Structure 1
Amino acid sequence: MFASSLTAQEPNIELRYAHGPDSFRKAGTPEGKVTMHVWKNSKVFPGTIRRYWTYVPAQYQAGKPAALMVFQDGHAYIKDGGDFNTATVFDNLIHQGEMPVTIGIFIDPGHLKDELPPEPGWQPRPENRSVEYDTLSDAYATFLLTEILAEVEKQYTITKDPEGRAICGMSSGGICAWTVAWERPDQFRKVLSHIGSFTNIRGGHNYPALIRKGSDKKPIRVFLQDGDNDLDNLHGNWPLANKQMYAALKFREYDVKFVYGQGAHNGNHGGAIFPDSLRWLWQDYELK
């Protein structure tokens, strides 16, 4: 027994990744404005209520189209001091000319309640999250375009160019981001997935085959991030699923980048490389 214990495979050690200077506020950098909103009476997802936030950069000019980036589990991405610090990263990269003037929309999944919990977050768990994020259909894209984006566009001018529209998420929000672009590449052509749930929660494990055997390659640029210590459960193995996605996308010659590390099912690694992910995603893009 002693000998066998010596030869047993050691578990992977989760690394904690350090954030770089673009994840923190810099003196002299103009700050965008973040505003919280509540959305209820959804027609696509009836009976739900949710928060969403908008970020408008200081450089935005009324009437002049801005680029767009949408985030699922919006509270996690917009949280000041969180893993992603998105408003600060946007402030820095826009000011430095490393991404276009971009309006951000940060959407939380729906609660099946009359009133929202006092604070945003995953506890209590939004009951409609898996239905919205893990389902392989155009339902969430329709909700996003006809409800949330339509409401935001009443106040701000956003480019109609799908190359100027990106969508991002983590875990089930990551597969949701991919599904939106997959279903509506006429609207979104840039995807950023952190620890994406391309597993059999609601059929997401089928995507590699759909990508490989699809008749047409879709004009989507996609950045994937995952790590050795991600989940392995009854739905599937997250590291393997992300490797399968990357292999399928590479096989079909998609514009894809995959950063694989030793992180777990959290936002630490994705947050640490977030500024570089955005630089890659927005490379060569100029607002029209």
Structure 2
Amino acid sequence: MTLQPYTSLPLDQGAVSYAYGPDSFPRPGVEPGRIDRFTIDDSTAYPGTTRSVWVHVPAGHDPLRPASVMLFNDGWWYLDPEGDVRAGVVLDNLAAQGAIPSVVGVFVDPGIRTASDEPKNRNVEYDADDDRYAGFLIDEVLPRVAALHTLEPDGHGICGGSSGGDAAFTAGWQRPEVFRRVIAFNPSFAQMPQGNPYPRLLSGGERRDLRIVLHAAHRDIGWNDPEWNWFAESLETAAALTRTEHDVRLIVGDGGHSPNHGGVLLPDALRWLWR
């Protein structure tokens, strides 16, 4: 039995921010990992876009030893050591503890169309319900990473929040043979172009070989509305996943549409995915 320390519930569910644990800060004696960066400006899946990709490996990682990959949508936003998620710091700490394997972190920015009046391609890539984004990662990102490091052929993970959470879940759903571990922090299922497809697909009996961490914020966008309710869509997706015997862990927090709670949860989410 695990005994959790007592924490009082806040009365105001909207004005809540969570304190980070020790694995979200540089730890004494843990050497920071190495970070390489490259640019993709010749995408086949998303022609006319350019984006940066950062590749993080923990200190002491052997590039010839086959490694699993954890991809992060919204690349630098998730890698930034001063940001809300600090995923590179977390990966360094967990690898030093032996809590997870020596995972190569791949941080992929959404595309920018520099010649367009609407340069941000984020929602086009992240909110879609097809396999184009997963195919882009598999065919255009991972081969570039494999040129730097020896990678396992499958069993990778993918993480994202908001629309990036949609993209993470959809990549796992579309290509579970590659992305078997999924983290979706307060995903924006409600704003997918045709609506959230997953409760319907799951109620029809569809199933994937996935391990999923799904986070919902109680005061997310539209939390008390009959439609466009981001909180309810996450709960309904989680319920459908449990009814179809998926390996899912649902975490519900207070607060609004913010990356803060997801960042706090990331160390334990990664431990659970690689348990």
TM-score between both structures, scaled by the size of structure 1? 0.87
- How far apart are residue 235 of structure 1 and its match? 7.1
1:223 aligns with 2:207: no
**Deviation at 1:44?**
0.7
Residue of 241, 256, 261 corresponding to 2:233: 241
Deviation at 1:264, TM superposition (A): 1.2
**AA at the equivalent of 2:166:** I
Partner deviation per Cα, 1:218-273 (whole Å, 9 max, x = no partner): 11000011211111189711110100010000000100001101121111111111
One-letter code aligned to 1:225: H
| Secondary structure of 2:26 counterpart | coil
> What is the CA distance between 1:63 and its match in structure 2?
1.5
Q: Which moved more, 1:166-175 or 1:197-206?
A: 197-206
Could you tell me which of 190, 193, 196 is aligned with 1:199? 190
Moved more, 197-206 or 80-89: 197-206
Determine the C-alpha separation between the residues in 2 that align with 1:76 and 1:204: 26
SS in 2 for 1:189: strand
Alpha-carbon distance between aligned partners in 1 of 2:181 and 2:47, rounded to the nearest angstrom: 28
Partner amino acid for 2:187?
G
Deviation of 1:83 (Å):
1.0
Rounded to whole Å, the distance in 2 between the matches of 1:126 and 1:255 is: 38
Extract unaligned runs of 5+ from structure 1: 1-9, 116-123, 284-288
How far 1:211 moved relative to its partner?
1.6
- Give the letter for the 1:221 counterpart: R
Q: Which amino acid aligns with 1:129?
A: R
Question: Which residue number corresponds to residue 174 of structure 2?
Answer: 183
Indicate the residue corresponding to 1:43 in structure 2.
44
Indicate conservation of the 8 Å contact 1:169/1:194, yes or no. yes
CA distance in 1, matches of 2:119, 2:157: 24
What does residue range 1-288 of structure 1 map to in structure 2 within 5 Å?
Answer: 12-113=13-114, 127-162=120-155, 165-215=156-206, 217-232=207-222, 236-283=228-275
Checking the alignment, whether the CA contact within 8 Å between 1:201 and 1:235 is kept in structure 2 is no
Deviation of 1:11 after TM superposition, in Å, equals 7.0
Distance, in Å, in 1 between the alignment partners of 2:24 and 2:264 is: 8
Output the CA distance in 1 between the equivalents of 2:203 and 2:226.
25
Residues 11, 57 of structure 1: CA spacing in aligned structure 2 closer, same or farther, 3 A cutoff?
closer
Q: Report the AA paired with residue 177 of structure 2.
A: D
Q: Percent identity?
A: 39
Structure 1 pair 235–40 and aligned structure 2 pair: CA distance change class (3 A): farther
1:45 match: secondary structure? coil
Instruction: After superposing the two structures, state which structure 1 stretch, 100-109 or 57-66, moved more.
Output: 57-66
2:94 partner SS: helix
Report the Cα distance in structure 2 between the residues aligned to 1:94 and 1:236, rounded to whole angstroms. Answer: 39
Report the secondary structure of 1:53's partner residue.
strand
CA distance in 2: counterparts of 1:248 and 1:17, whole angstroms: 28
Q: Is the 8 A contact 1:14 1:229 kept in 2?
A: no
2-structure distance, mates of 1:126, 1:277: 33
C-alpha separation between the residues in 2 aligned to 1:180 and 1:211? 16
Deviation at residue 204 of structure 1 after TM alignment: 4.3
Shift, 1:149, TM fit: 0.8
Please say which of residues 178-187 and 33-42 is displaced more in the overlay.
33-42
Q: Which of structures 1 and 2 has the bigger CA Rg?
A: 1
The C-alpha deviation readout for 1:47-103, integer Å capped at 9, x for no partner, is 001111110111311211011000111121101111111111111101101111100
CA contact (8 A) 2:187 2:234 kept: yes
CA distance in 1, matches of 2:205, 2:261: 31
Paired residue for 1:3?
A: none
Deviations 1:92-126 (A, max 9, x none): 101101111100110111111159xxxxxxxx985
In 2 relative to 1, CA 125–190 (structure 1 residues): closer, same or farther, beyond 3 Å? farther
Aligned residues: 263
Aligned partners of 1:78, 1:12: CA distance in 2, in Å? 28
Checking the alignment, whether the CA contact within 8 Å between 1:197 and 1:204 is kept in structure 2 is: no
The alpha carbon displacement at 1:212 in A equals 2.0
Q: Secondary structure at the match of 1:142?
A: helix
